Amino acid sequence: MGTFTTIKFTVPEIKTQFVSGGTDYSKSNIKASNINTIKTINNTYGSLVKYWSDIFEIPSGVVIGFIATESGGKMTKPNIYNATGLMQVTPSAVYECVTKWKNEVDAELPTQAVNELNKKVPELLRKSPLTSTLKSKLLTLLEKDASFNIMAGIIIIRWLLERFGNSIYGGQLNKAMVAYNAGAYTKALVSGGKAIITPIDSLSLATNIRVPKESRGYLYKMLGKDGFLSLIYQQKAI
C-alpha cells in the first residue's frame, strides 16, 4: 500500500438524494432494489473486484459502486459509444490510459496488470495503434471477460485519480467520477492540461452547470443520500 495517491471521500458527501423523473433513491422500493444490486454484484464478482482493487489501492466498495451505477452488475454488450460490460469501459479509454500511463502516473503500472495485459492484449503495452482489429479485440475482452473488464475500469479510475494528483485536489473521487462518466478530458474539468474546476465539496461539483447533466446525476447516485457508496459504507449493504 502507499504506491498511489490516497483517495478522498466521505459518505454521503451530498446530503440530498438522486431524484429524476420517477426515480428517487430514498424511496423504499428503489432503495431496496439498489441494495439488492449491490449484494448481487458482490456475490457474483466480489472476489475479482477485491483482487484488482487491492492492487490499485482503491476500496472495493467504491468499485462495486461504479459497477452498480454503470451497468447494474450486467456484462452488457457495447452500446452506441462502445461502452461495454460491468464498468462500461470503452476500447479507446483503456487504450489511452494504458499507453499514456508512464507519462501521466508516477508509479509503475502494477506487475499483475502488466502480466494480464501481456497475456490478453500485449498490443497495448507495445503502444500499437488503435486499429479496428485491436478495437474489436478489446471489445470482445470487455464484453466476455469479467476480470479484464474490472481491471480495465480500475486502471481508468486510478489513472484519473493520479491525473488530478498534481495539486491539493489529487485523489478527489468526485472529480474522477465526473471524468470517468464524461470523459477524461472533458472541458468541464480541464483546459490545456490544467484543472479549471477545483471545488473540494461534491455538492459544488454536482450543481456546476459546466459539468454535464448526466455526470452531475452520477455524483448524486454515488455520493448522495442513499447513494450507492452510502448504502455500502454507511448503511453496510455488504
**2-50: pLDDT as tens digits:** 789 888 888 999 999 999 988 999 999 999 999 999 999 999 999 999 9
Which residues have C-beta within 8 Å of that of residue 186, sequence separation ≥ 6? 178, 179, 212, 215
- pLDDT above 80: residue 121: yes
Query: For residue 103, what pLDDT band results from cuts at 50, 70 and 90?
Result: confident
pLDDT value, residue 199: 57
Average pLDDT over residues 138-163: 95
Q: How far apart are CA 25 and CA 48, in angstroms?
A: 27
**75-95: pLDDT as tens digits:** 999 999 999 999 999 999 999
Q: What's the pTM?
A: 0.94
Best CATH choice for the domain 19-233 from the list 1.10.530.10, 2.40.70.10, 3.40.50.720, 1.20.120.550: 1.10.530.10
- HEC profile of 100-138: HHHHHCCCCCCHHHHHHHHHHCCCCCCCCCCCHHHHHHH
Category of 220 on φ-ψ map: left (φ > 0), alpha (ψ -120 to 50) or beta: alpha
Using a pLDDT cut of 70, give the percent of the chain over it: 89
Cell numbers 477485491 correspond to what residue?
Answer: 50
- pLDDT above 80: residue 188: no
Domain boundaries, the chain: 19-233
Q: Which residue has the higher pLDDT, 160 or 51?
A: 51
- pLDDT above 60: residue 164: yes
Which residues have C-beta within 8 Å of that of residue 118, sequence separation ≥ 6? 125
Average pLDDT over residues 196-204: 73
Query: For residue 60, what pLDDT band results from cuts at 50, 70 and 90?
Result: very high
